[in-house]
Amino acid sequence: MKKCILIGIAGGTGSGKTLVARNIVKKLGRKEVVVVEQDWYYKDLSEIPLDTRNGKNFDHPNSIDFELLYEQVLKLVNGEEVEAPVYDFKTHSRSTKTQRISGHRIIILEGILALLDKRFRDLMDIKLYVDTDLDIRFIRRLKRDIEERGRSAFSVIEQYETTVRPMHEQFVEPTKRFADVIIPEGGENHVAIDLIKTKIQSLLEEGKN
């Protein structure tokens, strides 16, 4: 029997998934909630040349080590400790460092493909999809990749046109149908966040009985 609550947050790149997760953490506290990011589990590409790594399709499900992600999420919801990977987005490689996660009653799995795999959905108590207009998502992606990941504007735009948008339409958008709640405008939707908080608290109370 599961010991922890698992919440899945999916949605397109730049939709506001991370802000939704952060606002849930703010509402319930860091002692109760931990966020596990799907992006930590990108496959390590350190064995291939850097220029080849840059051309990989990072929005296809095959780019994610779902086996390790599932293994660790399963441990977390059963109250066990894990050493989650740390990913370097500038070199597209997995760091030798890890991050220890344990002792939380609420686990949030956040990522564009969080609702894709049925194994994860079957573990989830609440499934969320953050729905934001395409132009807003693109601008957020552009700013993030330039400011945080050292990318050029040209490379971000080219990647968006060739892989990000097609993969969103093929793999991400269809998972909306699995969501219990669709949140327009992401973390700025405070009514939705408050409703989710109330539902989580109800689940926590049920778990005590």
Domain boundaries, the chain: 5-201
Query: Nearest-CA neighbor of 160 among 143, 181, 179?
Result: 143
Mean pLDDT per 10-residue run, the chain (209 residues)? 90 91 93 96 86 80 96 96 92 90 95 97 97 88 85 87 93 97 85 93 80
69/199 Cα distance (integer angstroms): 25
Q: Does domain 5-201 have CATH number 3.40.190.10?
A: no
Nearest alpha carbon to residue 4 among 27, 36, 38: 36
Q: Which tokens is 184 given?
A: 């327009």
Predicted pLDDT at 1 = 63
Task: Give the containing element (helix H, strand E) for 110.
Answer: strand 106-110
The CA distance from 85 to 46, in Å, is: 14
Please, which residues have CB within 8 angstroms of residue 38's CB and are 6 or more apart in sequence?
64, 69, 109, 110, 111, 112, 113, 114
pLDDT of residue 36: 97
Q: How far apart are CA 13 and CA 167, in angstroms?
A: 11
Rounded to whole angstroms, the Cα distance separating 192 from 186 reads 9
Dihedral-angle region of residue 29 (phi above 0 means left; psi in -120 to 50 means alpha; beta otherwise): left
pTM, entire model? 0.90
Instruction: Tell me how many degrees the CA angle 13-72-95 measures, rounded to the nearest 5.
Output: 70
The per-residue pLDDT for 151 is 83
